[in-house]
Amino acid sequence: MIDLTTDSCSDLSREIIQSRNIRVLPLQVFINNQNLKDGEVTPQQLFKFVEESGNLPKTAAPSIAEFAEFFRTPGETIYIGISSKLSATVPNSILALELLDGNKKVYIVDSLNLSTGIGLLVLKAADLRDAGWGAAEISEEIQRWVPKVRTSFIIDTMEYLYKGGRCTALQAIVGSVLKIRPIIEVRSDGTLGVKEKIRGGRMKGLNSMLEDFKSHLPHVDPTRVFVTHTGCDEDAAYLVEEIRKTGAVQEVLVTIAGATISSHCGPNTIGILFMLK
């Protein structure tokens, strides 16, 4: 069996991880004077800490030594990780190969993405593995799918962007006063950018993401679409219902973002993530 692995930034649910036989290496989250693994603290606990302390949690990639130990399994391993432009995770995984026996084969794929944008690639790899493809073939095929992932999400507050150093205090204040909710996208080079600035009610932002998704429908891979969020169940239910109404998708999966992703985007963040054919 091919050892299919990813990191906790892929935001796959425990049920998916177990049912598809995927191994996950967690990132580290430093919160309330504690060093925790992503998964040991919920987004709600994290947001409460930020509200009470005014401090943003810090996150860290798995160390080179942790990756080396993670890769010490029988057979061939495929690792699909968070964008190297957003984290040291993939670079550390590459350096870890130097600590391994040369006979151990590890295929590393830089997703150039985050959250279930990574998850989409991992599940595509699981589909291919279960269809009998070899590790080298899967790795090569997943590399071909990397530029086809589309990830965008609406942020409800600019506080986390400000505290994380991704916008100025003035931008945060103006955004709050004018009720501007940015829609963030993952760009083709693996970096983040503002796709659209929504001024007005939250529903306007949700519908903007839906319209963008529908505009891609002729070219959307119908296998699966993710709706991923940091704790806004009603909005997720609305997006799922509207996506299903299109009749173009076989499976719509809902997941809650882990502590690492939540640390950088804040509460009530929600996104639609899909792949093109």
127: domain CATH number? 3.40.50.10170
Long-range contacts of 142-146 (CB under 8 A, 24+ apart): 142/78, 142/80, 142/109, 143/109, 145/121, 145/275, 146/109, 146/110, 146/111, 146/112, 146/113, 146/121
User: Is there a domain that residue 165 lies in?
Assistant: no
Specify if 19 maps to a domain. Answer: yes
Through-space distance between the first and last CA atoms of the chain, rounded to whole angstroms: 27
Under 8 Å between Cβ of 276 and 145: no
CA 228, 224, 62, 95: dihedral to nearest 10 degrees?
Answer: -150
Instruction: Find, among 170, 190, 165, the residue nearest to 180 by Cα.
Output: 170
Position 99 in a domain:
yes
Cα–Cα distance measured from residue 42 to residue 51, given in angstroms and rounded to the nearest whole number: 14
Q: Nearest-CA neighbor of 82 among 23, 122, 37?
A: 122
Residues 6+ apart with CB under 8 A from 267: 43, 47, 156, 157, 230, 231, 232
pLDDT at residue 263 in the model: 86
pLDDT of residue 161: 61
User: Domain for residue 109, yes or no?
Assistant: yes
* Residue 276 falls inside a structural domain: no
Of the two residues 52 and 171, the one the predictor is more confident about is 52
pLDDT over 80 (residue 57): yes
> Average pLDDT for residues 128-138, to the nearest whole number?
97
Residue 163 is predicted with a pLDDT of 55
Nearest to 96 by CA among 73, 126, 123, 122: 73
Helix (H) or strand (E) holding 79: strand 77-81
The answer as to whether 45 is a domain residue is no
Query: Residue 40, exposed/middle/buried by CB under 10 A (0-12, 13-18, 19+)?
Result: middle
Range of the domain at 77: 3-30+60-146
Note the pLDDT tens digit of each residue in 188-243.
999 888 888 888 788 999 999 999 999 999 999 999 999 999 999 999 999 999 99
Of 243, 259, 261, nearest to 251 (Cα)?
A: 243
User: Is 237 a domain residue?
Assistant: no
What the block records as the tokens of 95 is: 């350096």
Q: Among the listed ranges 27-41, 84-98, 120-134, which one has the minimum average pLDDT value?
A: 27-41
Residue 164 lies in a domain: no
For residue 258, pLDDT beyond 90: yes
| The predicted structure's pLDDT at residue 167 | 47
* Stated pTM of the model: 0.93
Whether 172 contacts 159, CB under 8 Å: yes
Which pLDDT score, from 0 to 100, does residue 271 have? Answer: 96
* The total number of structural domains that make up the chain: 1
pLDDT, position 188 = 95
Helix 202-215 with 233-245: angle, nearest 10 deg = 30
- Six-digit token pair at 116? 């279930």
Lowest-confidence segment of 32-46, 85-99, 212-226, 233-247 by average pLDDT: 32-46
Segment 112-126 mean pLDDT = 98
